Every structure is written in C-alpha cells, then in structure tokens.
A = this chain, B = another copy of it.
Amino acid sequence: MMSTSEANKYWVGFDLGGTKMLATVFDSEFKPMGRKRRKTRGHEGVDFGMNRIVQTIEAALEDAEVPASEILGIGIGCPGPLDLDRGIIMEAPNLGWVNAPVKKALQKAFGCPVVILNDVDAGVYGEYRFGAGKNERCVLGVFPGTGIGGGCIYEGRVLRGKVSSCMEIGHVKVMPGGPRCGCGESGCLEAVASRLAISAQAAQAAARGQAPRLLKAAGSDLSEIRSGALAEAIDAGDVVIEQILREAAHFIGVAAGGLIHILAPDVIVLGGGLVEAMPKLFVSEVETAARDFVLPSFRDSFRVVAAELGDDAGVMGSAAWVRETEYAGNGSSQKIHNTS
C-alpha cells in the first residue's frame, strides 16, 4: 500500500492514439509506477471511447497500486482539433469521433484536475522535460508519421492556438506543383515526406522490381510497408529505398529550415516511428538540408537530434503538463486563455 503523505502524490499521463492508448501513473518525481496499454477501437464510438479511457487509467492505477484519491491530476494528449478550454476533442478523423468530452468524462470518474493537449505537443513537451530537448530555451519537435506533426516549447511554454492548433509543419509548402496533399493543396511537406508518402513511393519501387528486399518482406501494400520494413530493406541493400527515405528527410529539413527563421529553435527533436527506425539517416539529412537552407546568421544556432523517449514521450509530457498547469504562477507555467 502507498503512503498517503503529501510527498506520495501521483500524476497520470495518457496518450490517445489512433490505434492504441497508453496510461502511465507517475510519482511526484515522475518515476513511472504503473501503466496500461490497450487498443483504442475508435470505431466503437465516443461513449465507448470515454469508458475505455477511464478503464485504462483504472487499470494503470491498479498496476501502480495507487488509489484514485491520490491522483493530483490527469494530462491527456489527444488527436485534434481540440477545444482546450472545455477539454473536448472537436474532431478526430482517425477515430471517427466528433465532440468527445474527454475532460468531463475523466473529471466525473476521478474527481481531479484534467488537462487535454495536442498529442504531438504532449510528445514534444515530454522530450523538453525529460528527453532530447531537456530544458532547452526553444525546442522544435518534428514527428513524421502518417501525417507530419510539429510542436514547439518556447521558454517552458507550449505554443498553441486558441481555436486551431499550430505548428502545422506538415502543410509547409516544400515542392511547388508537387504531389496533392490530403488538405487539398499540393506540395505540402506531408504529401512529400510522411510515412504514407514514403510508403507509396517505396511500394512503387517494389512493384517495379527496384526494391527486392522490401518486396520480399512487405509486398507492395502500403499498409504493410511500415518503418521497420523500410529500415530492414535499406540494411539489406535496397538502395532505391534509401534514396526515397533520404529525399523525404531532406524535405523535412527544408521545412524545418523555414521554421528556424521564424522560431530560432536551439534544438530540433525528430521523433516518431520512422525516425526511431532510422535515426542516423533522418538526423543527418535534416541537419544538412536545414543548414543549407537558412541564412548564414542561423547556421550555427541549432542542433538536430533524435527523440529519446519513444512511446513514453506522450505520457510523460502530458503528466508533466498537467502538473505545470496546476502550479500556475511559477514562471514556466501557462494559463489556458479563454476564448473571448
């Protein structure tokens, strides 16, 4: 049994993903005490989803042997767009959800403060607090995945929109007249360098017989061509696959270079499954492209590094973020502004 003294209080971090959800219970020093991972099953609908989140947190508390009464707060990283003030997922196409009242459901179940934030912001905040961007003045996170997410922690604050999210690096134009993006425009970074865009090119190479290792391992079905399969194909000698990956990473560096002129980050943290599978390739190509792109005065102003926390970035970041918002007024925290 846990002590109930002031020192033994707990924060819960939650990462709500398109395919899986993860809850982790942290002690006051952010040591993980217990966790639970489950499939999200978004297609079952919002009510089912709210219950499932509650049950997953309950299971993590059980794993940690922590009673719900000792939770100081729950932070939850969600796919957006979000209504941050009201704690609602306004729309999550990946889950098929509209107006999911996350904050209300969790407050009712656990009776503690609940804060939602964008899932990429949660991951970048985790890397800022505990990982590859630890305590840096300005951290820009770029997470290529199905789409390409971005987040920025500036002097301890998560840069966020009031209504919309921000740091939409996936929709920076990097290739005028380039491939069509899901947003309707063309030449967006996401249309050129997301895992989906990379897999589509890799599948073509496989179908053309230019990537025999990939074809053997994963076929030419986009849904089978995941980060691990791409990394293995490169290691096994599929040169064309390596070229495709390097070109995609190059364009991520071009887009990052554009943001360096705007935000002057001290460190750019690259994360997500693709980067985890091929960290050296991504760090090297992004860094080279970004340094080539920027004005001379910015050339030595930043580092490019791979994320360090993997899947834990989101739960650590969201748990640390709810703690920050609960201790507003300590200089590095940030009140949620009301829409007015």
> Judging by beta carbons under 8 Å apart, are B264 and A301 in contact?
no
In the assembled complex, the CB of A237 is this many whole angstroms from the nearest CB of chain B, namely 36
> Judging by beta carbons under 8 Å apart, are B258 and A172 in contact?
yes
In the assembled complex, the CB of A105 is this many whole angstroms from the nearest CB of chain B, namely 24
Q: Cβ of A297: which chain B residues have Cβ within 8 Å of it?
A: 81, 163-164
In the assembled complex, the CB of A291 is this many whole angstroms from the nearest CB of chain B, namely 13
Q: Interface 1/0s, chain A 146-186, versus B by CB < 8 A?
A: 00001000110101111111111101110010000001000
Docked Cα-Cα span, A213 to B249, in Å, equals 52
In the assembled complex, the CB of A303 is this many whole angstroms from the nearest CB of chain B, namely 12
Docked Cα-Cα span, A264 to B300, in Å, equals 27
Which of A108-116, A223-231, A329-337 contacts its partner? A329-337
> Judging by beta carbons under 8 Å apart, are A162 and B183 in contact?
no
A236 on the interface (CB 8 Å rule)?
no
In the assembled complex, the CB of A181 is this many whole angstroms from the nearest CB of chain B, namely 10
Q: Cβ of A168: which chain B residues have Cβ within 8 Å of it?
A: 261-262, 295
Q: Cβ of A246: which chain B residues have Cβ within 8 Å of it?
A: none
> Judging by beta carbons under 8 Å apart, are B301 and A164 in contact?
yes
Docked Cα-Cα span, A162 to B140, in Å, equals 14
Q: Cβ of A167: which chain B residues have Cβ within 8 Å of it?
A: 261-262
